[in-house]
A and B are shown apart, each in its own frame.
Chain A
Amino acid sequence: MPLKFKKPDSLTDIAMHYCPGCTHGIIHRLVANAIDTLGIEGKTVGIASVGCSVFAYNYFTCDMQQASHGRAPAVATGVKRSLPDRIVFTYQGDGDLAAIGTAEIVHAAARGENITVIFVNNAIYGMTGGQMAPTTLNGQVTLTSPYGRRQQEGHPVRMSEMLSTLDGARYIERVSVHNPAHIIKAGKSIIKAFEMQLRGEGFSMIEVLSTCPTNLKMSPVKALKWVENNMIPFYPLGIIKDGSVKV
């Protein structure tokens, strides 16, 4: 029987530590599949961040660096400017990218660094056990917004829209992995972002709406529904900025 589906070559055989139902595994696969599709595994350097995806360096077969919390775009800048012909991506969560690392992502985009950013937004802090994220929705209950997120806890930040105002940002798209159709679409967007880097077109970011069933305290299926019904209305899907060269 012909093989229809297999693990991408760019993922190692190490068992992932992610909780059951977490969509990090799907997003890792999409990134690895993009690397396989473009045949760039040997010249890719990934930057893992701090948060649930901190161990990403164990899961990708390409060279990896682990950055301090929020600084992955700065680390990626150091790698890319030193080795301009390598492909460099960061893999960051919402706390990492939209809270502690706000300055680094804004200025990497402003400089138009020729890197690809995978921004996983699940509206909560996973690794530390369910605290409020910068992307936690208005009214959402977390361990540090126990009365639901209010004005005094601050409103959620739409990073993709914010970064799209910067001249240096060339491609920004928000995708979701809440159902198979969207997973396929997300995979295509990630490939496009890497292709742009290969052509030297500059900064690209794919924001992926993701789930954290453990800390949302929902079943995996309910968490996917929650993304569809609650996150997508606030974080609309689609291309937010496309300055790519049409090929």
Chain B
Amino acid sequence: MEQKLMKGNEAIAEAAIRAGLKFYAGYPITPQTELPEYLAKHMEKSGGTFIQAESEISAINMVYGAAGAGIRAMTSSSSPGISLKQEGISYIVGSELPCVIVNVMRTGPGLGGIHPSQSDYFQAVKGGGHGDYKMLVLAPNSVQEMYDFTIDAFDIADKYRNPVMILADGILGQMMEAVNLYTPATEKFDKSWATTGTYKKRKHNIINSLYIKPEESETLNKRLQAKYKIMAQNEQRVEIINPDADIMLVAFGIVARVAKQVLDDAKSQNLSVGLIRPLTVWPFPSKAFKTAAKAYLTIELNSGQMVEDVRLEVNGRAPVHFLGKMGGKVLTVDDIMAKLKQIAGA
């Protein structure tokens, strides 16, 4: 298998091309800019279209048009730019179009900073735009996973006709690791709903999210919620290490990489510690929380967002602690060990 040293942002771009990406529109913003740069260079060769749009708003609406035309489409940005895309994402959900959206998170609120963060968790998993909706949200923690999850994202999006988000952060986007490159077998999905021209052989297709009659709007919403129920049943992904441990760490993305180091240190200090790492943060991997742990420690690069989902799953059976870091610095092994010792009463 071909191996290459790549930045996380580049790995997403390469994977997308190999997954059959034929339309990309985006706008430069740190720390994801290598992604459009890579596509600008390589997409034309694969017969795709790359557009540097005039804004993130325009970019997501171009993706709406391309996805509605039945081809694989993607946009990417970092936190403030993802905020700008929210109306468009809501329209894409409402019109049941498949696409992939990448958020390489930086700090907020406002212009924030360009350092890594996980403070867009709520925005990604609870909706973000207007209306009742969900995106399937994949949370990689390595450059290889940036690649693998991107390949999967296009199939999941097509399967459910729903946008899929890759939720990464500035470190994952910028760091370089060796990546195994491969080209997936392309699965065929029915796209008879796409606006490709009637050629007078069928009634016109309409891509739309406007349902002015309450009954029709209710029907759409019920259909979406039924779809999310199926997605929640079928698409949960999680990595669990030491499921029988006394204290379970819960972490996603780059923080989970730090957490894995913590497991080694904890063992040498006779602490029984495990890790639950959601690979999908929506649907949240509820099945992973059927443990006999005496306590949970959720660690995040924010003020405490995923911890709310952990508390819902644990539902009072054990205390759920939180350790967070805001502003762009990353939690260290020492930070987490200190908190673990405090919880363990050691």
Contacts and interface: CB of A to CB of B under 8 A. Distances in A.
Q: Do A and B come from one complex?
A: yes
Given A41-B200, A103-B55, A79 B61 contact: no
A67 B204 contact: no
B204 A60 contact: yes
Interface-centre pick from B23, B63, B65 (highest chain A CB count, 10 A): B65
B66 A81 contact: yes
Contact of B61 (A54, A62, A78): A78
Contacts of A67: 61, 64-65
B64 A78 contact: yes
Contact-residue bracket for chain A:
35 or more
Interface in B54-68: 54-55, 57-59, 61-68
A65 B208 contact: yes
A97 B58 CA distance: 13
Nearest to A12: B204
A66 B206 contact: yes
Interface-centre pick from B67, B91, B198, B204 (highest chain A CB count, 10 A): B204
Contact of A82 (B61, B69, B95): B69
B199 interface: yes
A43 B204 CA distance: 11
B88 A68 contact: yes
B198 A75 contact: no
A82 B91 contact: no
B197 interface: yes
A194 B325 CA distance: 57
Contacts of A106: 54
B25 interface: yes
B275 interface: no
Contacts of A47: 65
Given A41-B198, A42-B199, A75 B210 contact: no
B285 to A, nearest CB: 33
Given A63-B195, A78-B65, 11 more contacts: A12-B204, A64-B208, A65-B195, A65-B207, A65-B208, A71-B57, A74-B25, A75-B61, A75-B68, A86-B196, A111-B51
Interface of A: 12, 41-45, 47, 54-55, 57-58, 60-68, 71, 74-83, 86, 103-104, 106-107, 111
